[in-house]
Amino acid sequence: MIAWPLLTWYNGTGDDMKDNILIEKSIDFGARIAKLNRYLTKEKKESVLSKQILRSGTSIGANINEAQYGNSKADFIAKLHIALKETAETEYWLHVLQKSGYLDLSLMNSLLVDCLDIKRILIASINTAKENLKDSPRKQDEIPPN
Q: Quick one: 135 exposed, middle or buried, by C-beta within 10 A (0-12, 13-18, 19+)?
A: exposed
Spatial separation of the C-alpha atoms in residues 66 and 33, rounded to whole Å: 19
Residue 36 · residue 53 · CB < 8 Å: yes
**91: in domain:** yes
**pLDDT (tens digit per residue) in 68-122:** 998 999 999 999 999 999 999 999 999 999 999 999 999 999 999 999 999 999 9
**3: in domain:** no
**99: in domain:** yes
Residue 116 · residue 88 · CB < 8 Å: no
> What is the CATH number for 32?
1.20.1440.60
**122: in domain:** yes
pTM: predicted TM-score of the whole model, two decimal places? 0.81
**95: in domain:** yes
Count of structural domains within the chain: 1
Residue 135 · residue 93 · CB < 8 Å: no
| Residue-by-residue DSSP string for 129-142 | HHHHHHH-SS-TTP
68 DSSP assignment: T
**pLDDT (tens digit per residue) in 11-67:** 444 445 555 899 999 999 999 999 999 999 999 999 999 999 999 999 999 999 999
φ/ψ bin of 5: left (φ > 0), alpha (ψ from -120 to 50), beta (otherwise):
beta
Question: Is 130's pLDDT higher than 50?
Answer: yes
Domain that residue 33 falls in:
16-135
**1: in domain:** no
